[in-house]
Structure 1
């Protein structure tokens, strides 16, 4: 076991992007390093391999923390690591859902790419997907009295099925409970278990694979060696 100081040092290095350990994320979370490296080498080349190694190192450091610490670490890591860029400029498409590896390769992503990368990273460090939802919202732009709403996507975390969710957002660095994000109007949310309407703790409309872009994303991740 690492001493507390060593764990804190490793976490700081990981957040700063300076960690060079060689680690292996366990198969139970769907991320087997050697399998992913082989698939990514074929799909993305040597740059992709370097990205996977860095990402795996970070996940291995963060998995030792408490669940709340994992939320903070993963949220901070991706908000620092990726810059916001719209899909048209990045991918020459109006709406493209990147895998975490694709986003890390570009060093940038749209709001859904931040949410997706955080979702899978938290899954890989042991947070149950039942506690995580990628949430489509309308974001109020320009203050509480503004009528201007913009489509946005965030990751939400539910400590229990009926708990108030915490919001992990690329636009606001602090993780806040939903009650402290009055600028966000939830429309629906989803994870690998299903689609949810606001206020419901149970899937309402089949499962998340029915979302065409989610299905495409899962297929791309499988091609990268990730279950």
Structure 2
């Protein structure tokens, strides 16, 4: 299967082409996925999906001229690390996100674009994941190898709660988890207490109530 890869130029044309072509060519029968839980209503909402991506594409080239100083600073920072090795980039933009965004839970589950999240200065787990993912776009990561993974997290015998993380596979084949609960980027083998429910491949512009069984085994 061939996919379009985004370069470090930050071209909205390349990103849009990658999303459209990936969505058009994807054959679910070719992927190793398995349904294990009912898809939450917020993630099954096609209107929310379309609205999110429309807002993302509109703001994608405008970060450097944003009315928010924090958004401009975030975009400028990403340009300073784009030539670094991928693992170093992940650690850098993960740390930068923490300096710009504070955690705050929300009623319901409304997806915010990175520009919206950074401008207001707070967000929840999926907002963090979207910032990480778009940061990786700008760094030239292969969008076929970036996922937002939703599932359940538990700690200290507490009742599991919904949670979302970003998972990225770098060029040498290693996978890392970017989770706002950890305070650092961790290899998938070190990411505990999280049960994946389904994954969203960032390069497909479509959402699945599915689990990538290969990824699930890594947690």
Cα RMSD for the two superposed structures: 3.0
Q: What's the offset of the Cα at 1:56?
A: 1.9
- Provide the residue aligned with 2:153 in structure 1: 139
The alignment partner of 2:213 has SS state of coil
In structure 1, C-alpha distance between the alignment counterparts of 2:176 and 2:60, rounded to whole Å:
34
In structure 2, what is the equivalent of residue 106 of structure 1? 120
Q: Unpaired runs of 5+ in structure 2?
A: 1-7, 17-56
Unaligned stretches of 5+ residues in structure 1 = 1-23, 89-93, 202-227
Where do 1:56-95 residues align within 5 Å? Answer: 56-88=75-107, 94-95=108-109
Alignment of 1:177 with 2:203, yes or no, is: no
In structure 2, how many angstroms separate the alpha carbons of the residues matched to 1:36 and 1:123?
A: 15
Larger Cα Rg: Structure 1 or Structure 2? 1
Measured against aligned partners, the alpha-carbon deviations of 1:154-196 in whole angstroms (never above 9, x if no partner) come to 00112369x5631111110122222222201111111232545
- 2:165 aligns with one of 154, 158, 172: 154
CA distance 1:177–1:76, change in 2 (3 Å) = same
Checking the alignment, whether the CA contact within 8 Å between 1:137 and 1:188 is kept in structure 2 is yes
- The equivalent residue for 1:36 is 62
Q: Which has the higher contact order (CA 8 A, sep 6+)?
A: 2
Structure 2 partner of 1:165: 175
Q: How many residue pairs end up in the alignment?
A: 162
TM-score by length of 1: 0.62
Deviations 1:122-177 (A, max 9, x none): 111111111210010210122xxx2621110000112369x563111111012222
Q: TM-score, normalized by length of structure 2?
A: 0.64
Q: Secondary structure at the match of 1:87?
A: coil
Q: Which runs of 4+ in 1 moved over 3 A?
A: 28-35
d(CA) in 1 for partners of 2:119, 2:106: 14
Q: How far apart, CA to CA, are the structure 2 residues paired with 1:32 and 1:51?
A: 18
